[in-house]
Amino acid sequence: MVKTFSLKKEKDNLMKGIFFLCASFSIISLVLIIVYLFINGIPFMNKIGFFNFIFGIDWSPISDSPSYGIFQMIVTTIYVTGLSVLFGGVIGVLTAICLYRFMPKKLTNVVMQLINLLAGIPSVIYGLFGLEIIVPFVRDYISPNGVGYGILSSSIVLSVMILPTIVSISYTSLLSVNEMYFEGALALGSSREEAVFKIMVPAAKSGILSGIVLGTGRALGETMAVIMVIGGSPQMPSSLFQSVRTLTSNIAMGATELSGDPLSALVASGVVLFVFAFLLNVSFSFLNKKGGKKNAKKK
Residue range 196-208, pLDDT digits in tens: 999 999 988 888 9
What is the C-alpha separation between 21 and 86, in angstroms, rounded? 39
Res 137: pLDDT:
94
Query: What is this structure's pTM?
Result: 0.86
| pLDDT score of 237 more than 80 | yes
First and final CA of the chain: distance in angstroms? 51
Q: Are residues 163 and 197 in the same domain?
A: yes
Is residue 58 in some structural domain? no
Is residue 288 in some structural domain? yes
| pLDDT score of 290 more than 80 | no
Q: Are residues 30 and 127 in the same domain?
A: no
Average pLDDT over residues 15-38: 87
| pLDDT score of 293 more than 60 | no
Q: Are residues 35 and 94 in the same domain?
A: no
| pLDDT score of 150 more than 70 | yes
Give me the amino acid identity at 28: I
Q: Are residues 44 and 152 in the same domain?
A: no
Contact by Cβ (8 Å): 50, 70: no
Q: How many domains does the chain have?
A: 2
Average pLDDT of every residue of the chain? 87
Contact by Cβ (8 Å): 132, 191: no
Beta strand 67-68 pairing with 59-60: antiparallel
**Residue 269: partners with Cβ closer than 8 Å, 6 or more residues away:** 41, 70, 73, 247, 250, 251
* Dihedral angle, C-alpha 289, 290, 296, 299, nearest 10 °: -140
Q: Are residues 27 and 157 in the same domain?
A: no
Q: Are residues 269 and 146 in the same domain?
A: yes
What is the C-alpha separation between 162 and 95, in angstroms, rounded? 13
Is residue 188 in some structural domain? yes
| pLDDT score of 18 more than 80 | yes
Is residue 85 in some structural domain? yes
| pLDDT score of 228 more than 60 | yes
Q: Are residues 6 and 141 in the same domain?
A: no
Average pLDDT over residues 10-20: 80
- Cα distances from 137 to residues 65, 73, 93, 109, in angstroms, run 40, 25, 26, 32
Is residue 264 in some structural domain? yes
Sign of CA dihedral 215, 232, 243, 135: negative
CATH of the domain at 110: 1.10.3720.10
Res 256: pLDDT:
76
Q: Are residues 139 and 287 in the same domain?
A: yes
* Dihedral angle, C-alpha 210, 217, 228, 246, nearest 10 °: 140
From the CB of residue 46, how many other CB atoms can be counted at a distance below 10 Å?
A: 11
Which of 78, 150, 160 is closest to 125 using CA atoms?
Answer: 160
Query: Under DSSP, is residue 62 helix (H, G, I), strand (E, B) or coil?
Result: coil
Is residue 139 in some structural domain? yes
Res 232: pLDDT:
84
Q: Are residues 157 and 267 in the same domain?
A: yes
Is residue 11 in some structural domain? yes
Average pLDDT over residues 38-59: 89
Residue range 256-279, pLDDT digits in tens: 777 888 888 999 999 999 988 888
What is the C-alpha separation between 63 and 66, in angstroms, rounded? 5
Average pLDDT over residues 212-240: 89
Residue 259 belongs to domain spanning: 70-298
Is residue 55 in some structural domain? no
Q: Are residues 43 and 84 in the same domain?
A: no
Average pLDDT over residues 11-26: 83
Q: Are residues 36 and 149 in the same domain?
A: no
Q: Are residues 22 and 169 in the same domain?
A: no
